[in-house]
Amino acid sequence: MTEKRVGQRTIALAHPPSVISFANIGGRFEGEGPLGGYFDETNDDSFFGEKTWEKAESAMQKKVLQRALDQAGLKPKDLDYIFAGDLLNQCIGSSFGLRDFGIPFYGLYGACSTMGESLSLAAMMIDGGFASKCAAMTSSHFCTAERQYRMPVPYGSQRPPTAQWTATASGCTILAREGEGPYITHITCGKIVDKGVTDANNMGAAMAPAAYDSLAAFFRDTGTGPRDYDLVITGDLGELGHAIVRDFFAKDGIDMGENFQDCGLLLYDRDKQDMHAGASGCGCSASVLNGYLLTEMRRGKWKNILFAPTGALLSPTSSFQGESVPGICHVVQISMKK
């Protein structure tokens, strides 16, 4: 097993799994944003035809998995495992959305880093020879997140400038042992990093140290730097968190360059849509990856990217008890070559 280790924390997959299908779904604001054309489906109805927002999030997961299966010409029985999670208590968005598929299921919680976590585990399962096809997926919903973590939407609370807008979106990637790519080639598992930020409306600052830690570990382990990749993209640090990570690397003498981006800064037009510091939520990086990023990789825009979604590992209970906001970031290298 250790022969697949590179450095201290990074895994080089011996048989890199291929992305054979991907799909994403978004809400009205996501469809109106600059990446709206990369969504398989958007819906102006925040309930997605259901009676509650929580049921709507489950509906998104159900729809996005079925779309990914259809695009690959697969049936549910063709998948060995699903790796999925969301932001809701006990991950009910995933468990209720996927319960009718009858596919072996691993429920995950990595907060907004869940797309990276699910991709990592699915890729390692296939590389290890324990599966031939797996789905990695997640979701978030603005209204469910507000109700659980902050204030119910009808309350009309005012958000500070550091706040981010939780994406109403879902994304699914299907990986297989064989395929034409892109391929998952390297993985760095994140560590929990907590620098004492207690403001739940400033999650970009809370997650930035974890993004820096994981990316620095990846570069150190692989002997590479940001300029060795066509794109280095974090999950949902937003304007402030993204700038903090850039500053951290600058202190190390590393210029992240223009190829350093953040999904939370790409999903919305912040001038026209007034999303404050940018997008957040599991569905932010998941929808950007399973729309814009993978589509453009297949079109040839990028050959080699680092996908590094970030998560804030808080809960309402921890915030009520005065706890700080721990962060985590999982790094996944996606390449058009094995």
Band of residue 151 on the pLDDT scale cut at 50, 70, 90: low
Band of residue 317 on the pLDDT scale cut at 50, 70, 90: confident
106, 141, 92, 192: CA torsion to nearest 10: 50
Q: Which amino acid is at 266?
A: L
Distance in angstroms (rounded) separating the CA atoms of residues 58 and 86: 10
Helices 53-72 and 142-149, axial angle in degrees (round to 10): 140
Same domain, yes or no: 170 and 264? no
- Which is nearest to 149 in space by CA: 88, 90, 196? 88
Q: Give the pair of three-digit tokens for residue 8.
A: 């201290």
Same domain, yes or no: 150 and 31? yes
**What is the bridge-based pairing of β-strands 279-280 and 41-43?**
unpaired
Q: Determine the average pLDDT of the residues in 301-320.
A: 92
Same domain, yes or no: 295 and 260? yes
pLDDT at 82: 98
Same domain, yes or no: 319 and 281? yes
Residue 94's contacts (CB-CB under 8 Å, 6 or more residues apart) are 58, 61, 84, 85, 86, 105, 107, 137, 138, 139
Domain holding 246: CATH number? Answer: 3.40.47.40
Same domain, yes or no: 217 and 278? yes
pLDDT at 108: 97
Cα atoms in the 13 Å half-sphere on the side-chain side of 144: 27
pLDDT at 229: 98
Same domain, yes or no: 126 and 228? no
Out of 142, 176, 210, pick the residue that ends a domain. 176
More confident residue, 122 or 237: 122
Domain tally, the chain: 2
Same domain, yes or no: 153 and 252? no
Same domain, yes or no: 117 and 31? yes
Whether residue 146 is predicted with pLDDT greater than 90 in this model: the reply is: no
Same domain, yes or no: 219 and 325? yes
Work out the percent of the chain whose per-residue pLDDT is above 70. Answer: 93
pLDDT in tens, 115-134: 999 999 999 999 999 999 99
Domain with 227 in it = 183-335
- 106: three-class secondary structure by DSSP: strand
Same domain, yes or no: 265 and 165? no
- 306: three-class secondary structure by DSSP: strand
Same domain, yes or no: 99 and 225? no
Same domain, yes or no: 170 and 189? no
Task: Among 80-89, 152-161, 237-246, name the one with the lowest average pLDDT.
Answer: 152-161
Q: What pTM, to 2 d.p., does this model score?
A: 0.93
The sign of the CA dihedral 125, 172, 265, 261 is positive
Q: Give the pair of three-digit tokens for residue 288.
A: 């950007």
Q: Determine the average pLDDT of the residues in 96-101.
A: 96
pLDDT at 278: 67
Distance in angstroms (rounded) separating the CA atoms of residues 114 and 123: 14
Distance in angstroms (rounded) separating the CA atoms of residues 319 and 311: 15
Cβ–Cβ < 8 Å for 236, 309? yes
Out of 176, 192, 222, pick the residue that ends a domain. 176
Whether residue 205 is predicted with pLDDT greater than 90 in this model: the reply is: no
Distance in angstroms (rounded) separating the CA atoms of residues 92 and 52: 13
Out of 118, 145, 176, pick the residue that ends a domain. 176
Cβ–Cβ < 8 Å for 137, 64? yes
Report DSSP letters for 144-205, one per residue. HHHHHHS--GGG-PPPPTT--EEP-EEEEEEEESS-SS-EEEEEE----B------TT-HHH
Q: What angle do CA 146, 147, 148 make, to 5 degrees?
A: 95
pLDDT at 29: 87
Q: Determine the average pLDDT of the residues in 203-223.
A: 94
Band of residue 318 on the pLDDT scale cut at 50, 70, 90: confident
Cβ–Cβ < 8 Å for 132, 15? no
pLDDT in tens, 25-43: 999 988 999 999 999 999 9
Report DSSP letters for 22-75, one per residue. EEEEEEHHHHHSTTGGG-SEEES-TTTTSSSHHHHHHHHHHHHHHHHHHHHT--
pLDDT at 285: 94
**What is the bridge-based pairing of β-strands 331-335 and 304-308?**
antiparallel
Whether residue 171 is predicted with pLDDT greater than 80 in this model: the reply is: yes
